[in-house]
Structure 1
């Protein structure tokens, strides 16, 4: 939207007092992975859908994402309450959460609970809906009623169904016997999907959704995050016979790098540990064999539910600018490994939610509706994936930009030509500015301050671009890692009350130097997008 762009022309973006210089050669693409424009999605607890629809905030924010990226963010309606959802035709209201919508033991719904979703979310939004797999009595009639209602109301907007949420926790929850394994799960999965596919409502539908399978919670290689001994991973479930590329579009795994669910993991919570590229890589690299198994089965692997800290997040970590930088690195690292989509979980009163629709009382404080710092990772990545055509981008991680506090990614067009670069400084820098956000707990406002002047580095990228080519630079920036407010993308912020974008966008421009060298200064705790412009500079030669 050029009317809110103000350009800053720079012939050289080197800052003489940079603390360090990072020279990054850009190699030819070696087995690059797909970078989808809808790579960043949201997972909403079923019990939180109605509160979100009571405010226009999320609708406005996701409208910006759709406009910038060119496609809307996918929405999964699923989570713990999916297996506590009961369809009730006799219900006098569209839904009823018992005992209430923050402590849900059972969610009763009827068909018109699905009304308004298509109108609220941006046009073209694809919905994934999680059916109740817990209740297997009566030939899965509850799940069948849910599927019929969802398809009847949402029509071609519902693209995928899941069967159950985190089914590898069913033994612990008392929903399956101790012998529950991939073979039993696969048998039940085929039984229920077979009933759906053979039903009159499915056969008569003009649009027929397919399925996202697996939906496993426990990481395969992190023992203290495994709630029970089982064989639930993508390798084992495909060996058990859950393979059908015509029906299974994706397999899903869930991942939370930190947790408040128990005292041991709660004691390890740290923004410094979250905002560390090597930790991000270790957490995600355990899924490389899982992604290969999904691909061998003719489908794809996605992170079907994730966020910074499980059990609803931790204010002071999840809602900070450091979490926005983490999410940016996390999504791009995932894409570079072949994990094509990441769904960030939302609850209407969760500490990790990027935006909260309604004011509420929490831990003795009155929190406002609003937008939190971590939303800006999505706003920035919408610019990263934006394209003038429908062809998908390709992405590869840069070996020379791979440190605890520094990462980099090269993005190529459909003809394998370098189009964009992203560099992220994940170093923790704490500031006295932007510490408070009224939609977050004031008790978690940071009191830490980093000493001295904020460090910066000069990134020296060795590209195949011709000297004199213009480049454009956007920044994901904030006062500090601990900031809860004051975050923006090249000067563009968000009004927390209305969701409107505010402020002119200050896009920097530079020129490719001899030998294809592009220089850019990068503050500690900041990310940059460098993209090649199609026209050459008038200063060339």
Structure 2
């Protein structure tokens, strides 16, 4: 269903009154990208780099293309299944300094963003998003900013050894998040600044709790504290016990703050496994000491970095073509997860969720041709399901500005927004596919099948839901246009399926993620649908959905599923499992909104050593800008005031009259 004449409330205007804006429908505009340019000659924004890599050579020896998978249809007969998981397993980590660029647009909510989130929430039940990163550490809430901005990065004065820009933001950012949640079921993580423990700034907790309410999942305390000393944010002797003490300061300050009523929603320790391991923190007695304050235990990790391509001091640049094969094996995801298996067990024993709080293909923005390819999408599916099978509760893929390659979605530069739409990265298809793999019941349990003799190029997972086999996830990392390395997995069953008298169903249903090559950027389909090419998406899937029906041999008790090279196959064992992951309709939003003018820009330098092991790209938009026009700052805003839920319901219903003012209620 498309909502026309939709009034989207963005934030409070002067005097505590709401402002309404209107959006209208439009036909998507597409631009066909060039795919022949080399990254060595391309000089534009990384998000639009046209570099396409060659698919790696086929492995030698080749894996078998015919193999069997034996499955029990009952979870009670399977050992080593994961904890119960939500379909919202893969979410997003948005750098705080670019959140207005991704979620807000010249006084409007970004409609493509709403459409993308609606696709996920319809399948998974909700979407989890973290707003933070390096830039949260220096963030300060102010009541207003010049030129109606919501976010502004300040030039540093030399007192910050890593030149991380100080970030100013207004409460409008939090109202923005709240109103996204009012339209699409989205939950948020925020971060408490920890750069100055002698002057803790808890406004993010005070305002976040008041404005977001139940949509606030938790508050991160410290972003990658194991790198503080290396980056000059603390003394060289700073260690896990120092973080233990600083975390305690935050706990005490929150408990003493009359404007904070929730004090058991803290997220920690958020280590990047750079100079400490998570065990270094656990060994301080951290969990036992603060168990009543900790909601979730977290880590952050990037498997590689591309810093040498951008900054000096990192040695010779890495060749993306050479690095590409490292992402195209089952071992890639397993090797990332392996160091955290002990911590996931510790979290489980402590009764705490264990979350990969920030991750993506590589820090310093990822690799051209890798991070924006089908290969990265297959990698993210495998890596995500490997975390799921290893008792992570969920994981957040990082989203930066226009100067990164790995974005799941990227709005156009503001000065091109009148004729360009959004660019959807291949890795967004991964999030969509994993949400359907796990479904919306919050009962899914995952197991790595070590398929095809645990072959690195043909991994598979089984998913049990409500105690019964529901889905099978199969990947093929190889690229072979001839079809000779498409493989056939013959699945045999024991037990009953979905109440049927035979152990094998009469048929299964298959959705495919497909492209001609692992190097493909845009010619990608999920169940026959696509987001199109560069600058061509309004966040809605294009084309007709196609689900393959595969008949089973009930006499032989087998079903044979073909997985193309390359590709991902999601096999639904029953019509009910398919229906759960396939909404019959999705609420979508359409718009002709364009920028009223160029947004203001604040650019600050950053020490490249921060980016090598820290977040994806520090939230910088070097030369491109990430601060958007915000709301009117005249007059005082009433803290804790938000638009009436009844009004928002009326808005969603398509009220066709511009409201002069919105009713408010005091929190």
- Please state if 1:46 is matched with 2:83: no
Match of 2:168 in 1: 108
Return the match for 2:271 from 208, 216, 220. Answer: 216
Map 1:235-274 → 2, pairs under 5 A: 235-243=279-287, 244-262=290-308, 263-264=314-315, 266-267=317-318, 269=320, 270-274=323-327
Return the match for 1:457 from 478, 483, 487. Answer: 487
**Cα distance, 1:105 vs. partner?**
1.3
Alignment partners' CA distance in 1, 2:319 and 2:352: 36
Equivalent pair of 1:259/1:265 in contact (CA under 8 Å): no
**Cα distance, 1:459 vs. partner?**
0.9
**Cα distance, 1:233 vs. partner?**
2.7
Match of 2:152 in 1: 96
Match of 1:314 in 2: 367
Alignment partners' CA distance in 2, 1:46 and 1:526: 34
Match of 1:424 in 2: 475
Judging changes above 3 Å, is the alpha-carbon distance between structure 1 residues 418 and 238 closer, same or farther for their aligned structure 2 residues? same
Judging changes above 3 Å, is the alpha-carbon distance between structure 1 residues 317 and 77 closer, same or farther for their aligned structure 2 residues? same
**Cα distance, 1:298 vs. partner?**
2.7
Return the match for 1:531 from 548, 553, 572. Answer: 572
SS of the equivalent of 1:352 reads coil
Match of 2:210 in 1: 152
Alignment partners' CA distance in 2, 1:481 and 1:187: 47
Map 1:317-332 → 2, pairs under 5 A: 317-332=370-385
Alignment partners' CA distance in 1, 2:154 and 2:70: 57
Judging changes above 3 Å, is the alpha-carbon distance between structure 1 residues 172 and 475 closer, same or farther for their aligned structure 2 residues? same
Match of 1:404 in 2: 456
SS of the equivalent of 1:26 reads strand
Judging changes above 3 Å, is the alpha-carbon distance between structure 1 residues 66 and 235 closer, same or farther for their aligned structure 2 residues? same
1:262-314 deviation line (CA, Å, top 9, x unaligned): 44584264221112111221221111112122223331321100001111112
Alignment partners' CA distance in 2, 1:503 and 1:332: 27
SS of the equivalent of 2:298 reads strand
Alignment partners' CA distance in 2, 1:317 and 1:81: 26
TM-score normalized by the length of structure 2: 0.67
Alignment partners' CA distance in 1, 2:284 and 2:91: 29
- Please state if 1:60 is matched with 2:60: no
- Please state if 1:82 is matched with 2:136: yes
1:424-447 deviation line (CA, Å, top 9, x unaligned): 1122x2xxxxxxxxxxxxxxxxxx
**Cα distance, 1:368 vs. partner?**
6.5
Match of 2:333 in 1: 280
Alignment partners' CA distance in 1, 2:509 and 2:573: 6
Alignment partners' CA distance in 2, 1:266 and 1:293: 38
Equivalent pair of 1:359/1:368 in contact (CA under 8 Å): no
**Cα distance, 1:153 vs. partner?**
2.1
**Cα distance, 1:391 vs. partner?**
4.5
TM-score normalized by the length of structure 1: 0.82
Alignment partners' CA distance in 2, 1:94 and 1:532: 48
What value does the CA root-mean-square deviation take over the aligned residues? 2.6
SS of the equivalent of 1:463 reads strand
Alignment partners' CA distance in 2, 1:511 and 1:217: 47
Give the aligned length.
473
**Cα distance, 1:74 vs. partner?**
0.2
Match of 1:11 in 2: none
Match of 2:23 in 1: none
Match of 1:183 in 2: 241
Alignment partners' CA distance in 1, 2:394 and 2:224: 18
Equivalent pair of 1:348/1:358 in contact (CA under 8 Å): no
Match of 2:510 in 1: 473
Structure 2: where are the runs of 5+ without partners? 2-62, 157-162, 309-313, 498-502, 577-667
**Cα distance, 1:534 vs. partner?**
5.3
Equivalent pair of 2:483/2:565 in contact (CA under 8 Å): no
**Cα distance, 1:510 vs. partner?**
2.1
**Cα distance, 1:257 vs. partner?**
1.4
Judging changes above 3 Å, is the alpha-carbon distance between structure 1 residues 134 and 454 closer, same or farther for their aligned structure 2 residues? farther
- Please state if 1:124 is matched with 2:169: no
Alignment partners' CA distance in 2, 1:468 and 1:289: 38
Alignment partners' CA distance in 1, 2:328 and 2:407: 18
**Cα distance, 1:347 vs. partner?**
1.0
SS of the equivalent of 1:472 reads strand
Equivalent pair of 1:37/1:392 in contact (CA under 8 Å): no
- Please state if 1:164 is matched with 2:222: yes
**Cα distance, 1:90 vs. partner?**
6.1
Equivalent pair of 2:226/2:240 in contact (CA under 8 Å): no
Alignment partners' CA distance in 2, 1:498 and 1:374: 17
Equivalent pair of 1:158/1:209 in contact (CA under 8 Å): no
Bigger mean CA offset, 276-285 vs 117-126: 117-126
Equivalent pair of 2:422/2:539 in contact (CA under 8 Å): no
Alignment partners' CA distance in 1, 2:240 and 2:164: 28
Equivalent pair of 2:87/2:434 in contact (CA under 8 Å): no
Alignment partners' CA distance in 2, 1:454 and 1:295: 44
**Cα distance, 1:357 vs. partner?**
1.5
- Please state if 1:385 is matched with 2:430: no
SS of the equivalent of 2:537 reads coil
Structure 1: where are the runs of 5+ without partners? 2-17, 219-225, 430-449, 536-541
Judging changes above 3 Å, is the alpha-carbon distance between structure 1 residues 361 and 454 closer, same or farther for their aligned structure 2 residues? farther
Alignment partners' CA distance in 1, 2:324 and 2:506: 39
**Cα distance, 1:361 vs. partner?**
9.5
Equivalent pair of 1:359/1:369 in contact (CA under 8 Å): no
Bigger mean CA offset, 172-181 vs 207-216: 207-216
Equivalent pair of 1:62/1:73 in contact (CA under 8 Å): yes
